[in-house]
Amino acid sequence: MKIFRVSQEDYSPPAELHRLSVPNARNFSRISASFVNAKKPERAAFCAGILVLWEFQKPFDCQGFSYILSALADMAKLTVNDLDVRDKRVLMRVDYNVPMEEKDGQMVINDATRIKETLPTLKLLVKNGAKIILMAHLGRPDGKKEPTMSLRPVAAKLADMLGVKVAFQDDTVGERIEKYVNSMKAGDVVLLENVRFYPEEESNDPAFSEKLARLADIFVNDAFGAAHRAHGSTTGVARAVAQRGGKCAAGLLMERELRFLGDELENPARPFVVILGGAKVSDKIKVIDRLLEKADSILIGGAMAYTFKLAQGLQIGKSLVEPDRVEMAKAAFEKAKKKGVTFLIPTDNVIANPAPTGKLNKKGKPVLDLQNPRVNTQPNIPAEAEGVDIGPATAARYRDEIAKAKTILWNGPMGIFEDPRFAEGTNAVAKAVVEATQKGAKSIIGGGDSVKALNKAKLGDQVTFMSTGGGASLEFLEGSELPGVAALSDK
């Protein structure tokens, strides 16, 4: 989206905006919600109106303003609902990067959630008579044909789940594939082989994108989980399809992801409580910084809490920590104070003593046995121990805070939840989020391991929304523009 500065003589803002008094960006946020689904000229008028008011009614929260504009830009994309797809070749990028393992010489799908999430868009396209050509990546074959990373088993699973025949082609581009696609009939579905078998996919080679575009009248991107990558099948193909005069639209899953991680958090019902955990502060510091502008409370767990503890001058024993991020942690504490955000770190922890096992993991790192798990109620962690979970007092404090929430965003586990001995803190948070949801709060789970933890606790269907993206969700929550979204056609 281009933003022009205009003067009042050049442009009259809509009447609603004239009537507005403009104390801060939150007022704009509320009004923007009714405009996000408007057609392009109305949105342009709205933005222009804001700019006029911005010019004349200072002081103004510039950062809040930029968030509103970016939300408007993100939501302004064409969606699959806006298109006539009958008899058209619809090339659709999906995220079928499903976990698989080998059983009796066959690759078996362990978790079909990602396939399930694409069914609404596929059902719509089948119903409306499109010819559906699916493309996806699986694993990291590094540009080579790797039989264990073939998408063939996914085609069979998809056919089961969709209740429609799904053909499979053992290549992605080229004359043979073009011929096949050109012979398809309305309602046919085909899945192409792993796009990453071609090195040109990740290098975003324009000639490869052009080959993909030859298979399409329309491009649909429903792969939110891959939208943070500028690859041939995400951005390159969109450019090439648009150059040929075709439309590029978001699928229904992509639209939902942008709505929940974008618009819903742009205008959160308050109190807005954010729970952040996981391994590293460095992965999430931009999200923390951005959410400090919006949240009423931020609750920190996981290993990243130890960097915050270190920033407070506390001892953290052998806990996972990033000493080079202590200054960032201090800045976050400062900002929270300035903005009046309740910013909590654990007051007690489950700790254990790491002992070498002599074994190495897949990445060649020593595997440690975590012995003698116990609750540490002291602020300092003993020298021989490492923090592995939040403690019961912290879990209770976090539960109270979550119970007050009207909007919840959760990203990252509270401890090493993969080990049942250290999953209690994460499970307590999961339960508190579900209880708050039952009382009417909107709960948004920002992808990755918190989704795994909720599913493990069989609570996945009891929250408002679970993102399918890992890296993409984080980048979007940071406020970054996702290249795969930016490449789609405007409404």
Footprint of ligand AMP (CB under 6 A) = 278-280, 283, 302-303, 320, 387-388, 412-413, 415-416, 418, 448-449
**What is the rounded distance in angstroms from the CA atom of residue 463 to the CA atom of residue 443?**
6
Tell me whether residue 387 or residue 391 sits nearer to ligand AMP (CB atom): 387
Q: What are phi and psi of 247, to 5 degrees?
A: -95, 155
Instruction: Look at residues 121, 126, 152 and name the one whose alpha carbon lies nearest to residue 138.
Output: 152
C-beta of 175 vs 384, nearer to ligand AMP = 384
Give the whole-angstrom CA distance, residue 323 versus residue 331. 14
CB of 231 to ligand AMP, least distance (A): 22
Q: Among candidates 416, 408, 417, 415, which has minimal Cα distance to 435? A: 408
Rounded to the nearest whole angstrom, what is the least distance from the CB of residue 283 to ligand AMP in the complex?
5
State the Cα–Cα distance between residues 328 and 285, nearest whole angstrom. 8
Name the minimum Å distance from CB 388 to ligand AMP. Answer: 5
SS3 category, 203: coil
In single-letter form, the type of residue at position 460 comes to G
What is the Cα–Cα distance from 455 to 467, expressed in whole angstroms? 12
Least distance CB 83 / ligand AMP (angstroms): 36
The sign of the CA dihedral 336, 338, 341, 347 is: positive
Amino acid present at 450: S
Q: Greatest CA span in the chain, whole angstroms?
A: 75
- Cβ proximity to ligand AMP, 328 vs 388, nearer residue: 388
* Residue (of 212, 198, 205) closest to 142 by Cα position: 198
Residue number closest to ligand AMP, CB atom:
278
Q: How many other CB atoms sit within 10 Å of the CB of residue 132?
A: 25
Between helix 304-311 and helix 281-291 the angle, nearest 10°, is 70
* DSSP for residue 429: H
Closer residue to ligand AMP, CB minimum distance, 448 or 479: 448
**CA pair distance 316, 309, nearest whole angstrom:** 7
Residue the block writes with tokens 């959760």: 410
Comparison of 391 and 448: residue with beta carbon closer to ligand AMP:
448
Q: Between 278 and 484, name the residue whose CB sits nearer to ligand AMP.
A: 278
Q: Check 448, 469, 479, 484 and give the catalytic one.
A: 448
Nearest approach in angstroms of CB 368 to ligand AMP is 10
Give whichever of 91 and 423 is closer to ligand AMP, judged by the CB atom. 423
Closest approach of Cβ 379 to ligand AMP, in Å?
16
C-alpha 416/C-alpha 390 separation (Å) is: 10
How far apart, in whole angstroms, are the C-alpha atoms of residue 127 and residue 261?
A: 28
Of the residues 116, 280, 335, 406, which is catalytic?
280
Pairing verdict, β 131-135 and 189-192: parallel
Question: Any catalytic annotation for residue 114?
Answer: yes
One of 123, 397, 471, 491 is an active-site residue; which one? Answer: 471
Q: How far is the CB of 32 from ligand AMP (least distance, A)?
A: 31
Q: In the annotation, is 448 catalytic?
A: yes
- In the set 93, 114, 196, 256, the catalytic residue is 114
* Residue 193 near residue 169, CB atoms below 8 Å: yes
Letter for the amino acid at 461? D
Q: For residue 218, which amino acid is it? A: I
Q: How far is the CB of 92 from ligand AMP (least distance, A)?
A: 28
For residue 355, give both structure tokens: 């002992």
User: Where do the H-state alpha helices sit in 275-423?
Assistant: 281-291, 304-311, 326-339, 392-403
The residues annotated with a catalytic role in the active site are: 114, 280, 448, 471
